[in-house]
């Protein structure tokens, strides 16, 4: 029986399957364990089930000599030093595909909410300010027939493109084989939706130069990673009307401080990183994360491994 540290309670019954097979220490609070607690409670663990908020880096690997497997409860692994994990023969699991459709739903929800000023209108009603109907009240922009620019036509970007067909949108995208250059996409699109992983190349990809290329009637939608967008430059663009608005499920920093200027703007809709937050998707993620950990602790290949080269490393003399 192995020792496992799980950094948060998860939806569904998956953690019970892990507890039936191994000794599980589960962090009891709704928020992430503080760094010192993470290092202390993982120090004797054979398996770690982590979230994106948990930094799995050299310090943690050095402090956890018994660690044999890391399972990340996320598609992305930018919180994990994958290269070092591979070097040390530690497989890292993730949860691809399962949240594709759920995140695409949210991307479209943010487009609709931002373009049709749904949050702004709802707040007006809740303040008791239901206005007399007037031709110019809460005017927004149509999705139907608009140009949607998808930056990153992977699984989620492709799912967003399928939804766009139902709105008769013209879809353009970056990347091969028939993608447009980013600057052309930014100039043409009425909605720019980001669906790229966070890498050294994509960090800060969208800033003042890119926002200046966009139309003043265009919207930026980000359900990828907050660090892909330079927050201060986006804030200025929204304040100055350089673009019409934004829909953000991710921000940099995350969470935003209570006094952050973005929170005072009416032309931005912000949700707290809920792209995968449906009951079905989150429970399926938990099952995949536990399956990854159970397989690795049994000496088997993880079904969803983010660093498959680790198995080549393990076979090397």
Catalytic residue, candidates 94, 163, 195, 225:
225
* DSSP E strand boundaries for the chain: 3-6, 23-26, 47-50, 69-72, 92-93, 147-151, 170-173, 191-194, 219-222, 245-248, 268-270
Cα 138 to the center of its chain, rounded Å: 30
Length of the chain: 317
Catalytic residue among 88, 254, 260, 280: 254
Count the neighbouring beta carbons within 10 Å of the beta carbon of residue 111.
27
If DSSP codes are grouped into helix, strand and coil, which group holds residue 23? Answer: strand
The torsion angle over the Cα atoms of residues 263, 269, 275 and 278, rounded to 10 degrees, is: 110
3-state secondary structure of 269: strand
What is the distance between the alpha carbons of residues 10 and 13, in angstroms, rounded to a whole number? 8
> Is 225 a catalytic site residue?
yes
List helix spans (H) across 116-217: 118-126, 155-165, 182-188, 208-213
Q: Tell me which long-range contacts 61-65 makes (C-beta under 8 A, separation of at least 24).
A: 61/85, 61/88, 61/90, 63/39, 64/39
In the set 8, 41, 173, 273, the catalytic residue is 273
User: What stretch of H or E contains 293?
Assistant: helix 279-297
All residues at 6 or more sequence positions from 40 whose CB lies less than 8 Å from its CB, including other chains: none
The question of whether 254 is a catalytic residue gets the answer yes
**Chain-centroid distance, C-alpha 83:** 21
Which are the catalytic amino acids? 225, 254, 273
């Amino acid at each position: 029986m192995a020792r496992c540290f799980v950094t948060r309670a998860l939806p569904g019954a998956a953690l019970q399957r892990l507890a039936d097979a191994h000794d599980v220490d589960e962090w009891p609070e709704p928020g992430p364990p503080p760094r010192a607690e993470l290092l202390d409670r993982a120090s004797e663990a054979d398996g770690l089930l982590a979230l994106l908020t948990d930094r799995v880096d050299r310090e943690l690997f050095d402090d956890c000599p018994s660690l044999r497997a890391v399972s990340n409860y996320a598609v992305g692994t930018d919180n994990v030093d994958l290269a070092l994990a591979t070097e040390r023969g530690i497989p890292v699991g993730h949860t691809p595909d399962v949240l594709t459709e759920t995140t695409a739903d949210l991307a479209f929800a943010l487009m609709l909410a931002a373009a049709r000023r749904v949050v702004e209108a709802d707040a007006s009603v809740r303040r008791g300010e239901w206005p007399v109907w007037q031709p110019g009240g809460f005017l927004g922009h149509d999705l139907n027939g608009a140009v949607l620019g998808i930056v990153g036509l992977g699984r989620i970007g492709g799912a967003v493109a399928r939804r766009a067909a139902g709105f008769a949108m013209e879809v353009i995208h970056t990347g091969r084989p028939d993608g447009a250059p980013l600057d052309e996409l930014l100039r043409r699109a009425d909605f720019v939706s980001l669906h790229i992983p966070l890498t050294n190349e994509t960090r800060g990809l969208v800033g003042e130069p890119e926002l200046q290329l966009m139309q003043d009637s265009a919207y930026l939608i980000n359900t990828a990673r907050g660090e892909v967008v330079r927050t201060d430059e986006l804030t200025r663009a929204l304040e100055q009307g350089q673009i019409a608005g934004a829909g953000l499920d991710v921000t940099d920093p995350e969470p935003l401080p209570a006094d952050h200027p973005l929170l005072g703007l009416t032309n931005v809709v912000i949700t707290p990183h809920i792209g995968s937050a449906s009951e079905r998707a989150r429970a399926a993620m938990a099952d995949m994360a536990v399956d990854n950990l159970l397989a690795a602790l049994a000496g088997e290949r993880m079904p969803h491994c983010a660093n498959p080269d680790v198995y080549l490393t393990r076979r090397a003399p």
